[in-house]
C-alpha cells in the first residue's frame, strides 16, 4: 500500500513537472490559458520556437523560461514597432531571444546578456538552425557593469529600439536608471514578471515559496516606481507572468 502511494505521488509529481513548462498563468483558470495556447499560440508557433520550448521543458530550471504566449506577443510587438536594434538582459535558453531574432529584419541586432552561457548554448543550435544567430551578440556576465560602460558614451544614448529585461528582480530599478538613457525616445523597455505569479496581492499570511516572497518586495517597489516615472508611459499586461511596457517620452 505504502509503495503504491509513493508510486502515485511520483507519477503525479512527474505529471506536474512535465506540464506547460512550469507556468501557472495569471488567468481565471488553467482551462482559459490552455484555450489561448491551443487556439492561437501553438498552431502559429514557428518550428524553431517549438523545438526550443521542448528542449527547455526538460531543463531543471524551466520555470525561468518565457512562456509561448509571451513569445508570440513579443514577436508581434517587435514587428509592429519595426525594431532593429534591441537588447535583452536575461537569456536562459533563449526562447524570448529567438522570438526576437525571428522578428527583426536580416540586419537587425540583439545585444544579449546572461550570467550563464551554458544555458544559452543549450538553445543556440536551434537559433543557428533557424538562420538568425548572426543577429545576436551574446555577452556572459552580470549586466550592470556593461550598462554602466554603455551609458558613459553619449553615442549609445537612445540607441536601442527595444530592451527586454527578464533577470534579477532585485536589480530592475537599478537597470532602469541606465536603460532609460539607452532606449530611444519613443522606444520601449519591457520588464518581465511584474505580476510575480499573482503574489503582488497575496495576503500577508499566504504560503509563498521563499524566493517568491523575497523578490516580491522588489517587484512591488518596481511597480510603484514605474507608475510615477514621468519619463515613461506604462502599460502592465497580464501576458505570461506580467510584462510592464515602458515607452520613453523624452
Contacts with its own copies, residue ranges (CB under 8 A)? 25-29, 31-32, 34-36, 39-41, 43-44, 69, 72-73, 76-77, 79-81, 186, 188, 195, 198, 200-201, 223-224, 226-228, 233-239, 244-245, 247
Rounded to a whole number of angstroms, the minimum distance from the CB of residue 178 to its own copies is 22
Question: Of the candidates 172, 175, 181, which has an alpha carbon nearest to the alpha carbon of residue 232?
Answer: 181
Q: In sequence order, which residues have a C-beta less than 8 Å from that of residue 26 and are 6 or more positions away?
A: 195, 197, 198, 238, 240, 241, 242
Residue 142 or 198 having the CB closest to its own copies: 198
Residue 1 or 31 having the CB closest to its own copies: 31
Interatomic CA distance for residues 200 and 15, integer angstroms: 28
Rounded to a whole number of angstroms, the minimum distance from the CB of residue 90 to its own copies is 22
Residue 146 or 237 having the CB closest to its own copies: 237
Rounded to a whole number of angstroms, the minimum distance from the CB of residue 24 to its own copies is 8
Interatomic CA distance for residues 128 and 48, integer angstroms: 10
Interatomic CA distance for residues 238 and 50, integer angstroms: 22
Residue 26 or 146 having the CB closest to its own copies: 26
Residue 131 or 186 having the CB closest to its own copies: 186
Cell of 82: 519595426
Amino acid at each position: 500500500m505504502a509503495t503504491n502511494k509513493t508510486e502515485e505521488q511520483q507519477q503525479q509529481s512527474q505529471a506536474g513537472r512535465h506540464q506547460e513548462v512550469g507556468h501557472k498563468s495569471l488567468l481565471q483558470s488553467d482551462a482559459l490559458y490552455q484555450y489561448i495556447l491551443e487556439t492561437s499560440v501553438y498552431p502559429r508557433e514557428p518550428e524553431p520556437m517549438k523545438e526550443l520550448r521542448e528542449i527547455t521543458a526538460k531543463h531543471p530550471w524551466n520555470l525561468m523560461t518565457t512562456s509561448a504566449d509571451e513569445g508570440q506577443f513579443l514577436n508581434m510587438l517587435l514587428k509592429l514597432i519595426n525594431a532593429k536594434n534591441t537588447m535583452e538582459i536575461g537569456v536562459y535558453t533563449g526562447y524570448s531571444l529567438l522570438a526576437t531574432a525571428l522578428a527583426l529584419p536580416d540586419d537587425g541586432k540583439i545585444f544579449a546578456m546572461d550570467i550563464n552561457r551554458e544555458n544559452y548554448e543549450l538553445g543556440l543550435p536551434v537559433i543557428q538552425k533557424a538562420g538568425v544567430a548572426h543577429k545576436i551578440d551574446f555577452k556572459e556576465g552580470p549586466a550592470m557593469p556593461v550598462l554602466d560602460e554603455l551609458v558613459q558614451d553619449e553615442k549609445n544614448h537612445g540607441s536601442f529600439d527595444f530592451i527586454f529585461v527578464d533577470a534579477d528582480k532585485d536589480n530592475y530599478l537599478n537597470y532602469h536608471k541606465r536603460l532609460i538613457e539607452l532606449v530611444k525616445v519613443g522606444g520601449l523597455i519591457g520588464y518581465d514578471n511584474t505580476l510575480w505569479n499573482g503574489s503582488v496581492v497575496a495576503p500577508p499570511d499566504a504560503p509563498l515559496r521563499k524566493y517568491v516572497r523575497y523578490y516580491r518586495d522588489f517587484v512591488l517597489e518596481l511597480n510603484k516606481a514605474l507608475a510615477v516615472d514621468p519619463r515613461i508611459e506604462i502599460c502592465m499586461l497580464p501576458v505570461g507572468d506580467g510584462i510592464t511596457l515602458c515607452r520613453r517620452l523624452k
